[in-house]
Amino acid sequence: MPRTPYVLRSSLWVPAPLEKVFPFFTDAHNLEDLTPPFLRFRVLTPDPIDIREGALIDYRIGLHGIPMRWRTLISRWEPPHAFVDEQLQGPYTRWHHTHTFEPKDGGTLLGDRVEMIPKGWVLAPLVQKLFVARDVQRIFAYRLQRMTAHFGGDPSTGRVWFE
């Protein structure tokens, strides 16, 4: 298993104020809309979901045709500027996703920083190279498109990259 996580970054400016953008993320079911259909993503935790530090949220995904459960913990909740979700159960040895929201130029700059280590023990670097890097970049590129559909802007001005 790699000792250092792989780090994915994403950045997108949308022409909507922070006060409109952040509340979208307080509804866990909106994640279904931000996730590409190929993952068959569904929130399993019953409503209402009180998003706050310590909240646990359960999901179902289909990864390369394999159904699995994913459980996350909201480990940091600093509305309206940031929150962190960490995988407790799912396809990664480590998944630590920091979401940031910054007022900028009359809109909001959305940022994502994901530290990840795929499962696969000694094969984790190969799994990352062959599947995970491509899949995660595709997922976050889709998120850019969906965020601009909700809040305006141009998804081509966003970026998704590995550090």
The answer to whether 76 and 53 have CB atoms below 8 angstroms apart is yes
Parse the chain into domains and list their residue ranges.
6-162
Per-residue pLDDT tens for 131-155? 778 899 999 999 999 999 999 999 9
pTM of the predicted structure, to 2 decimals? 0.93
Residue positions counted in the chain: 163
What are the pLDDT digits (tens) for 62-72?
Answer: 988 889 999 99
- pLDDT class for 1, splitting at 50, 70, 90? very low
Quick one: what percent of the chain has pLDDT higher than 90? 82
pLDDT at 148: 98
Separation of alpha carbons 134 and 126, rounded Å:
12
The C-alpha atoms of residue 55 and residue 81 are separated, in whole angstroms, by 18
For 6-162, give the CATH class. Answer: alpha beta
